[in-house]
Amino acid sequence: MDLEKQLSEIETMGNDHVGSSGDTPLRAEKIASIKKDVTHILETLGMDLTDDSLKGTPSRVAKMFVQEIFGGLHPDRKPKASTFENKYKYGEMLVEKNITLYSTCEHHLLPIVGKAHIAYVSNGTVVGLSKMNRIVDYYAKRPQVQERLTIQIVRELQEIMQTEDVACVIDAKHLCVNSRGIRDIDSSTVTSEFGGKFKNPETRREFLDYIKLETEF
């Protein structure tokens, strides 16, 4: 059912909306509630919500929070843990680098934009390459701190592949630093988490050398 319809049904049905949607009634409730909160914030700021340009803003922001930028709070959205047997017996490091990352700083609710680089050494199990992008995206779509995000990505892959040998480096700009406060447009923040074999300086060095490679495509 389309969301506008779900929302208007919830509004007209009050608390008697059990079974009104086979899809995601919980999410629609969240959206309706956040919509009221955003309305309150904008009105408190003195905005005129009857203006054409602003009247859709509360529901637009509420949908964006619940479905997009904080969609990773919904456990149903967690990427499925499908793995494959490592048939070709590739026993070296696999690196997936320059994974685009959009997250939100939980201290200011401003964007974090950057790149994640992930490596693992298979112990017999491999995951599809796009799975790593999806895991990054799932944990990024929450109010986050970069340190926690880095650790969550590593733990999830360790769990899926049943190996400690997973590492992640994230290099990201925090708009709360770049666009307000100290307004340092050039600074970025690097975090890393090295599991298992990646605690070994040589293995760690190999990974860090790969992510420095500037391949032209």
Q: Which residues bind Zn ion (CB under 5 A)?
A: 105, 107-108, 176
What's the min distance (Å) between Cβ of 111 and Zn ion?
Answer: 10
Q: Which residues pair with 193 in a beta bridge?
A: 168
**Is residue 107 among the annotated active site residues?**
yes
CB of 110 to Zn ion, least distance (A): 6
Q: What type of residue is 53? A: S
The residue annotated as part of the active site, out of 67, 108, 158, 206, is 108
Closer residue to Zn ion, CB minimum distance, 108 or 115: 108
Closer by beta carbon to Zn ion, 163 or else 178: 178
Cα–Cα distances (Å) from 188 to 112, 143, 172, 175, 177, in that order, read 10, 18, 5, 10, 9
The residue whose Cβ lies closest to Zn ion is 176
Yes or no: say if 30 and 55 are a contact pair by the CB < 8 Å rule: no
Q: Is 106 a catalytic residue?
A: yes
Dihedral Cα 161, 152, 167, 122, nearest 10 deg:
0
176 is catalytic: yes
Closer to Zn ion by Cβ: residue 169 or 177: 177
Taking the complex as a whole, the smallest distance from the CB of residue 211 to Zn ion amounts, in Å, to 25
Active site residue 206: no
Q: How far is the CB of 142 from Zn ion (least distance, A)?
A: 14
- DSSP element (H, E) containing 175: helix 175-178
Considering the candidates 6, 96, 144, 146, report the single residue annotated as catalytic: 146
Question: Could you tell me if 50 and 74 are in contact, meaning their C-beta atoms sit under 8 angstroms apart?
Answer: no
Nearer to Zn ion (CB atom), residue 69 or residue 95: 69
Beta carbons of 92 and 85 less than 8 angstroms apart: no
Catalytic residue annotation = 105-108, 146, 174, 176
